[in-house]
Amino acid sequence: MVKKITLKEQYEDIKKEHKNSLVLFQVGKFYEVRGLDAYIASKILDFKIIIKKISPDEGVPMCGIPIQTAVIHTKTLCDSGCRVVLIKQGKKSYEMGLRIREVEKILEPDDGAVNLNPYIDEYNIYLEEEFKPEAERIFFNPKRELKKLNLKTLDADKALRLLREWQSKLQKKENEGGE
């Protein structure tokens, strides 16, 4: 009997073969970019990273690229010096328990590959911050805080108090060297 593997294991096996490349892994109508690759792609493409739950107590940084825009985005990544490996999704293997995936295309940068190592320290700092308990985070996002508010019931005094709190948090963040 063939051992069933998870999507995570499938991704990691492919990534091991292409360590110095950005791996775009087709899942449905999107290419998923995970981990350090997601961090690098998000910086180059100005995409938002989300944390995708891969088990009840484990998440992975990820960004998604719609298949219909992949040509544009892979060109941007290559123009930035990245080697890109596109992994296509094949037919479902009932023995393995998920779809078979294989390399569809390897796109080389025109003027030599970028060294991904400088991104590693920056990515590790991002991970430390992202996976800290909420109470320990320095990260503060006023847009996210605004979404939490019920603006219909917010009075002027509370709004002013919140603005002062946010201003204080942002000042603290700047003083601690955050962006």
CA-to-CA distance for 95 and 4, rounded, in angstroms? 7
User: Mean pLDDT, 10 residues at a time, over the chain (179 residues)?
Assistant: 72 89 90 90 90 80 90 89 89 69 84 59 70 50 56 64 72 65
Nearest by Cα to 173 from 147, 148, 127, 137: 137
Chain-centroid distance, C-alpha 174: 24
Give the pLDDT confidence score for residue 138 in this predicted structure.
Answer: 44
Does the residue 125 lie in any domain? yes
Do residues 102 and 90 share a domain?
yes
Do residues 38 and 77 share a domain?
yes
Report the domain count for the chain: 2
CA-to-CA distance for 40 and 35, rounded, in angstroms? 9
Give the pLDDT confidence score for residue 175 in this predicted structure.
Answer: 73
Cα dihedral value 31, 37, 39, 42, nearest 10 = -40
Does the residue 162 lie in any domain? yes
Nearest by Cα to 29 from 63, 66, 71: 66
Domain that holds residue 105: 7-134
The per-residue DSSP string of 111-166 comes to T-PPP-HHHHHHHHHHHHHHTS-GGG-----HHHHHHHS-TTS--HHHHHHHHHHH
Residue type, 97: G
What are residue 35's DSSP bridge partners? Answer: none
Do residues 115 and 145 share a domain?
no
Give the pLDDT confidence score for residue 45 in this predicted structure.
Answer: 92
Do residues 27 and 90 share a domain?
yes
Does the residue 166 lie in any domain? yes
Give the pLDDT confidence score for residue 173 in this predicted structure.
Answer: 66
Do residues 48 and 71 share a domain?
yes
| CATH code of 67's domain | 3.40.1170.10
Cα angle for residues 117, 12, 110 (degrees, 5° grid): 45
Does the residue 1 lie in any domain? no
DSSP letter assigned to residue 13: H
DSSP letter assigned to residue 69: G
Do residues 73 and 105 share a domain?
yes
Do residues 109 and 157 share a domain?
no
Do residues 24 and 40 share a domain?
yes
Do residues 48 and 115 share a domain?
yes
pTM of the prediction? 0.62
Do residues 28 and 113 share a domain?
yes
Give the pLDDT confidence score for residue 63 in this predicted structure.
Answer: 92
Does the residue 2 lie in any domain? no
Do residues 30 and 103 share a domain?
yes
Nearest by Cα to 33 from 123, 110, 140: 123
